[in-house]
Structure 1
Amino acid sequence: MSSSILDRPDAPSPDAPTLTLVLPDGATRTVPAGTLPRDVVASIGERLLKAAVAVSVDGEVQDLITPLRRGGAFKVLTDKSPEALAVLRHSGAHVLATAVRRVRPDAKIGFGPAIDDGFYYDFEVAAPFTPEDLMAFEAEMRKVVQEKLAFERREVSRDEAQVVFRDDPLKLERLQDLPDDEVISTYRDGDFVDLCRGPHVPDTSWLKHFKLMSTAGAYWRGDSKRQMLQRIYATAFFKKEELEAHVHRIEEAKRRDHRVLGKALDLFQFFPVAPGAAFWTPRGTTIYNTLIDFVQERQKERFLEIKTPLLFTKKLWEQSGHWGKYRENMFLVLDNETNEHDMSLKPMNCPSHHLYFTSTRHSYRQLPLRYVTFDVLHRNELSGALSGLTRVRQFAQDDCHVYLREDQIVDEVKFLMDFILGYYETFGLTATLKFATRPEQRIGSDEMWDRAESALRGALEATGKPYELKEGDGAFYGPKIDFDVHDSIGRAWQLGTIQLDYAAPERFDLTYVGADNAPHRPVVIHRAVSGSMERFIAILIEHFAGAFPVWLAPEQVTVIPIAEDYAEYAGRVAATLRESGVRVVYDAASTEDYRVRIREAATMKVPYMLVLGRREAEAGTVTVRTRGREKQEAMPLEQFVARVTDEIRSRALVPVSDADEAAAAKSAS
């Protein structure tokens, strides 16, 4: 280190131990503990220092002004580094708090972390923030950004911190929770000081592209018994076009909201007397049953469908471990004989499948055995957490449990993975994989978890597919592979899962007869594809914006005669389509003008409208209006029937047009 650095007030002690930093190219830097990362970055290059947002040291992100206390891999983070976005957003939370304090000095400050799609900050105020408040805060934030205020870090004693935050009770409460050996630090930008660990960008001018999104109530520390705070949600990006794309996605998500579309398209309803349980309309039931039929069709050759009871005594749940680990999420039922809550509606199918497996003697030659069930399930979600179809209390899963030998794990995981990914492809959904390991709350020994994690990770890696590690996010009984599905506007939804379970075979004394004619323990795999049918339908509504592909649409074709004179022909057209298995809407008794019926069909997003008049009736043709296309097509009825039935059979994602058919014919020739 240069003498100028050592002479500075923030210089490390001459007696400080040395740290070895390993740069990405393998080069090393040896520096005294307490050296500021910005000095290390400057020693690499001044241009790099100007571009630096923060650094990563041994995998931990810290800003340029937090003294180094460990050595290891040293990486400079710029605006191109994925880890840097969280640093920018956390700094954005401080800029937001700075602006709120300027505009509303009465606001008590809570905390403001970065989150997946932005950041938020909590404030305690007498009345909720208004849209006008948000506009004022955002305008003040832009002033703070223009002032290019440096983020100044200072390490303080606990007593000093209590003085600094004496007027902020939320900060003082948080201060009491910090362990005795915690390094307490504050960050200042201008007149605003916050209790914070960091990291932060060098100064406020980095926050050029941000937007305040919304405000909502939030209980202090998530405790409904504590005071209600006002939470401001916001987001920030390094590039303007990234912010604009994000805002567009938010607006598009609002337009696609399944709760709004579900009502507009008459798919489902909710009533206060049945909280968290959907009423499916005839149109919604058609979609629901079509999905079930599709899954059953794909599973009929390799899976065994069974149905099991809805209600079980606590003996089963004690055996499975749910009574001890999951009871608060279960709907308990009072037993009239014992006058105790000794029974429960089932929240999942696993124990009932295990019970059924034990009822029969199985040979190793029969494995793997795959039991699948579509029964209704109940989970006691908090009323405040209920949200449309995505968070309900009553739902059904395409739930499967596989009983297999250990030597079959690799092949079975590959089979299930191909099955799940192929299912998503039908809907134009893509998926990424995550491997989740043992959680803190779990059953089974560490040896069992070592064995299960090794087996499942090995099977996952044998597929050759990339995956992300999720430490501590496994089920309480075993590790799992989660499928995060990405919809048409880029949002990720956790849907399918493959979970490896060594605990259930022990708890339920599951056995099969091996080649040696002796009993052996099988392994259990829990598998879901859609997750819950309710949530999956919500995702599909938003993925397709309510414009379902023909095979899934509740109404596939609407037949509309332009005058009563052509009603007879319209009836024959509708009958022909129905005989071919097409879901047709035709109301012979309707007195509505045909233009009104066209608008209604468009509003309900029906894939095809057949508009029929004199020319069509005389020639035996139909004029086709395809959803989302301005150009109409005239064709023989037989040609249209062949087209639509082929789309249904092939489960095509988009309607075919004459131009598509011509292009396909030309390509084939």
Structure 2
Amino acid sequence: MPPLRPFARALHVARRIPSRSVTGLHLNGRVITRSCSCSAPHQLQHTVTVAPEAATKEQLNPTTADPPTPPTDHRTLAQAHNLFITSPYSPGSPLILPNGAYVFQKLQSFLRAQYPQFGFQEVITPIIYKKSLWEKSGHWENYAEDMFSVQGRGATGKTDNAQVGEDEEFGLKPMNCPGHCLLFRDEIKSYRDLPIRYADFSALHRNEVSGSLTGLTRVRRFHQDDAHIFCRPDQILEEIEQTLKFVGMVYNTFGLGPYKLLLSTRPKDSFIGTIEEWDRAEKQLSTALDNIGTEWAINEGDGAFYGPKIDIILKDSNGKEHQTATIQLDFQLPQRFDLQYQASPEELEAGSQTSMDSGLDASLRRPVIVHRAIYGSIERFMALLIEHYAGKYPFWLSPRPATVLSLNAEPEVLAHVARVQSVLSGLQAHDVRQLHPSASPRPLPLSTIQLPIETDTSARPLGKKIAEARLRKYNHMIVVGRKEAENGSLSLSLINQPNEEATVEILEAVIDRKITARELSKGVNVPLDAARRYFEHLANAFM
């Protein structure tokens, strides 16, 4: 496929020729997208325009291979792994079961581990705000019908001529950006303080139409890996490019992609700010896309009401496309919340202020906000991963990394099963004796890699236990009998572990010997301490 045209030229062409959908961009379904990280999902109705000669070529950044036949559904797969349920008592708000919570928390922990190298600081903000905040941000005017209104004690929201903050109705937050603006403006910042990057995993609520609710992909309560970068205008390009690198690193780790990049431009009618500000923001985003050397297309008119955005589109197993990551440039909220910082010597020397800075002292400037989400909705991202892995999760993310089967019911065997489970799960070091039940517990180190290792010590024949372990799709199956109990080892089999060749290489490196084909089929005898090290290697390598 030839490179897409630079933004300015492509947009010029788009405005000269009749708009048309690009067939290659809409294979097997319509794009599910959010108009911003701070808005509700909707099906893409706007035209995606690229250079005419590119329209007949292959799909832009094809997202996955052809959908499987029959297609997998995350709701069906979730039942097999006991991940979540839904209830008519709270439609659109999935109830996450322990196995699902493990995956959910791993997704959060993975991003938290990456935040320091990208300069993000995590914050915690309220779930509920007064109506006046949403009016200040512009969301009440543009977004109220998708919000849940809440009446607090003593607040009817009906008092005539009430002062701001008096007798107000409340709204459950559908986005984090206004709260992060409150954090930023808590004190005047210096130009040296920027960029400031706030990250937030708070629960969000959006009043989706009941008929559109589906599993984890279309919900009313969800969590975003939401973040807002407050930066100087001269820092915008670097921040956007770093964010795109962040997205690429994360998606490569999960084995997702390739994916599409869409630049969504100014809506035709519902937008705030001047056209000049929009043109400047769109130019910044298009330059960043050109600089990373990845193909992209224009999604004309589908920007958020406060600014243009870059959307990352992935395809699910049914061929339907979903917007996951998003990067948005916002010149509007800094003005609405009167955000400011002390200008740099270079800015003071230049002496010029933009329309954003009107009303400010000559020594002050307004920051720009970059809205950023890597997963998008964690629930939706989970759904895509559930279908992508189709029951064969990487070890570090798997809700069922291993199960320990007893060969018989001898007391020594059962005691060793309990010890194997304790050591492999990270609850006990291999060289530490089991604490007496009356002993006081000790805190585990925060760095401990904890794994949900299960056991089966039922009196059933071993063959039935093995068949059930395979059916339940554990990554590893461990068998313990009298021999293993006597020498402190275990018999390890890989039964549902992806990338088996690389996995075997890690196991061979840990036990310092080659593994035969017979051992792979019958089980590898591994010392207990080596098995724990092997599991830690897999987790740290994201395998």
Q: CA 1:118/1:457 → structure 2, altered by over 3 Å: closer, same or farther? A: closer
Of 337, 342, 365, 2:192 maps to: 365
Deviations 1:30-73 (A, max 9, x none): xxxxxxxxxxxxxxxxxxxxxxxxxxxx85599xxxxxxxxxxx
Aligned partner of 1:562 in structure 2 is: 407
Answer yes or no: is the 8 Å Cα contact 1:556–1:582 preserved in 2.
no
Deviation at 1:596, TM superposition (A): 3.3
Deviation at 1:456, TM superposition (A): 1.7
Deviation at 1:465, TM superposition (A): 2.0
Of 172, 184, 207, 1:345 maps to: 172
Alpha-carbon distance in structure 1 between the residues aligned to 2:24 and 2:196 = 46
Deviation at 1:643, TM superposition (A): 2.1
Deviations 1:572-602 (A, max 9, x none): 2222212364524344763444333333332
1:371 is paired with a residue whose SS is strand
Deviation at 1:507, TM superposition (A): 0.8
Aligned partner of 1:129 in structure 2 is: none
Which amino acid is 2:479 matched to?
V
Alpha-carbon distance in structure 1 between the residues aligned to 2:496 and 2:141 = 53
Alpha-carbon distance in structure 1 between the residues aligned to 2:333 and 2:272 = 10
Which amino acid is 1:522 matched to?
P
Deviations 1:348-375 (A, max 9, x none): 0011111111112211111110001100
Aligned partner of 1:572 in structure 2 is: 419
Deviation at 1:436, TM superposition (A): 1.0
Aligned partner of 1:534 in structure 2 is: 379
Of 430, 451, 475, 2:280 maps to: 451
Aligned partner of 1:545 in structure 2 is: 390
Answer yes or no: is the 8 Å Cα contact 2:83–2:98 preserved in 1.
yes
Of 57, 67, 72, 1:249 maps to: 67
Of 524, 530, 539, 1:639 maps to: 530
Aligned partner of 2:232 in structure 1 is: 405
Answer yes or no: is the 8 Å Cα contact 1:429–1:487 preserved in 2.
no
Alpha-carbon distance in structure 1 between the residues aligned to 2:405 and 2:194 = 54
Of 432, 445, 457, 2:260 maps to: 432
Identity of aligned residues (%): 39
Alpha-carbon distance in structure 2 between the residues aligned to 1:402 and 1:497 = 13
1:573 is paired with a residue whose SS is helix
Deviation at 1:283, TM superposition (A): 1.0
Q: Which moved more, 1:412-421 or 1:452-461?
A: 452-461
Aligned partner of 1:331 in structure 2 is: 148
Answer yes or no: is the 8 Å Cα contact 2:406–2:457 preserved in 1.
no
Answer yes or no: is the 8 Å Cα contact 2:247–2:374 preserved in 1.
yes
Q: Which moved more, 1:447-456 or 1:322-331?
A: 447-456
The one of the two structures with greater contact order (alpha-carbon pairs below 8 A, sep at least 6) is: 2
Q: CA 1:83/1:464 → structure 2, altered by over 3 Å: closer, same or farther? A: closer
Alpha-carbon distance in structure 1 between the residues aligned to 2:319 and 2:494 = 26
2:189 is paired with a residue whose SS is coil
Answer yes or no: is the 8 Å Cα contact 1:347–1:378 preserved in 2.
yes
Alpha-carbon distance in structure 1 between the residues aligned to 2:241 and 2:83 = 36
Answer yes or no: is the 8 Å Cα contact 1:582–1:645 preserved in 2.
no
Answer yes or no: is the 8 Å Cα contact 1:429–1:486 preserved in 2.
no
Alpha-carbon distance in structure 2 between the residues aligned to 1:247 and 1:418 = 23
Which amino acid is 1:568 matched to?
A
Alpha-carbon distance in structure 1 between the residues aligned to 2:216 and 2:314 = 17
Answer yes or no: is the 8 Å Cα contact 1:484–1:494 preserved in 2.
yes
Deviations 1:376-417 (A, max 9, x none): 000000100000000000001000000000101111111111
Alpha-carbon distance in structure 1 between the residues aligned to 2:325 and 2:220 = 19
2:521 is paired with a residue whose SS is coil
Deviation at 1:422, TM superposition (A): 0.4
Which amino acid is 2:476 matched to?
Y
Aligned partner of 1:611 in structure 2 is: 479
Within a 5 Å distance, the mapping from 1:161-240 to structure 2 comes to: none
Of 303, 311, 332, 2:128 maps to: 311
Alpha-carbon distance in structure 2 between the residues aligned to 1:385 and 1:619 = 57
Deviations 1:458-512 (A, max 9, x none): 2222222221111111111111111123568876431101100011111111101
Aligned partner of 2:75 in structure 1 is: 259
Alpha-carbon distance in structure 1 between the residues aligned to 2:70 and 2:333 = 44
1:272 is paired with a residue whose SS is coil
Alpha-carbon distance in structure 1 between the residues aligned to 2:232 and 2:281 = 13
2:421 is paired with a residue whose SS is helix
Aligned partner of 2:101 in structure 1 is: 285
1:315 is paired with a residue whose SS is helix
Query: Which runs of 5 or more residues in structure 1 are unaligned?
Result: 1-57, 63-81, 87-114, 120-221, 223-245, 653-669
Aligned partner of 2:182 in structure 1 is: 355
Answer yes or no: is the 8 Å Cα contact 1:367–1:405 preserved in 2.
yes
Answer yes or no: is the 8 Å Cα contact 1:547–1:607 preserved in 2.
yes
Aligned partner of 1:495 in structure 2 is: 324
Answer yes or no: is the 8 Å Cα contact 2:155–2:169 preserved in 1.
no
Alpha-carbon distance in structure 2 between the residues aligned to 1:248 and 1:503 = 41
2:311 is paired with a residue whose SS is strand
Answer yes or no: is the 8 Å Cα contact 1:571–1:588 preserved in 2.
no
Answer yes or no: is the 8 Å Cα contact 1:559–1:584 preserved in 2.
no
Aligned partner of 1:387 in structure 2 is: 214
Q: CA 1:645/1:416 → structure 2, altered by over 3 Å: closer, same or farther? A: same
Alpha-carbon distance in structure 2 between the residues aligned to 1:478 and 1:632 = 59
Deviation at 1:272, TM superposition (A): 0.6
Provide TM-score, normalisation by structure 2: 0.72
Deviations 1:242-269 (A, max 9, x none): xxxx99725342xx21111112211111
Provide TM-score, normalisation by structure 1: 0.59
Within a 5 Å distance, the mapping from 1:9-48 to structure 2 comes to: none
Deviation at 1:647, TM superposition (A): 0.6
Alpha-carbon distance in structure 2 between the residues aligned to 1:293 and 1:621 = 31
Which amino acid is 1:449 matched to?
W
Alpha-carbon distance in structure 2 between the residues aligned to 1:394 and 1:368 = 30
Alpha-carbon distance in structure 2 between the residues aligned to 1:588 and 1:495 = 39
Which amino acid is 1:420 matched to?
V
Aligned partner of 2:505 in structure 1 is: none
Deviation at 1:633, TM superposition (A): 3.1
Which amino acid is 2:108 matched to?
I
Alpha-carbon distance in structure 2 between the residues aligned to 1:606 and 1:563 = 21
Deviations 1:273-314 (A, max 9, x none): 111001111111111111111111111351111111111111
2:180 is paired with a residue whose SS is helix
Would you tell me which structure has more strand in proportion to its own residues?
1
Aligned partner of 1:374 in structure 2 is: 201
Q: CA 1:502/1:85 → structure 2, altered by over 3 Å: closer, same or farther? A: closer
Answer yes or no: is the 8 Å Cα contact 1:571–1:586 preserved in 2.
no
Q: CA 1:648/1:325 → structure 2, altered by over 3 Å: closer, same or farther? A: same
Alpha-carbon RMSD across the aligned residues, in angstroms, is 2.8
1:526 is paired with a residue whose SS is strand
Alpha-carbon distance in structure 2 between the residues aligned to 1:564 and 1:647 = 31
Alpha-carbon distance in structure 2 between the residues aligned to 1:377 and 1:483 = 21
Q: Which has the larger radius of gyration?
A: 1
Q: Which moved more, 1:483-492 or 1:335-344?
A: 483-492
Deviations 1:598-642 (A, max 9, x none): 333323321111012234334443222212488233132243332
Query: Which runs of 5 or more residues in structure 2 are unaligned?
Result: 1-15, 31-44, 46-63, 159-167, 349-362, 430-448, 498-519
- 2:86 equivalent to 1:270: yes
Answer yes or no: is the 8 Å Cα contact 2:343–2:364 preserved in 1.
yes
Aligned partner of 1:166 in structure 2 is: none
Alpha-carbon distance in structure 1 between the residues aligned to 2:142 and 2:113 = 35
Alpha-carbon distance in structure 1 between the residues aligned to 2:19 and 2:377 = 37
Alpha-carbon distance in structure 2 between the residues aligned to 1:632 and 1:493 = 42
- 2:44 equivalent to 1:117: no
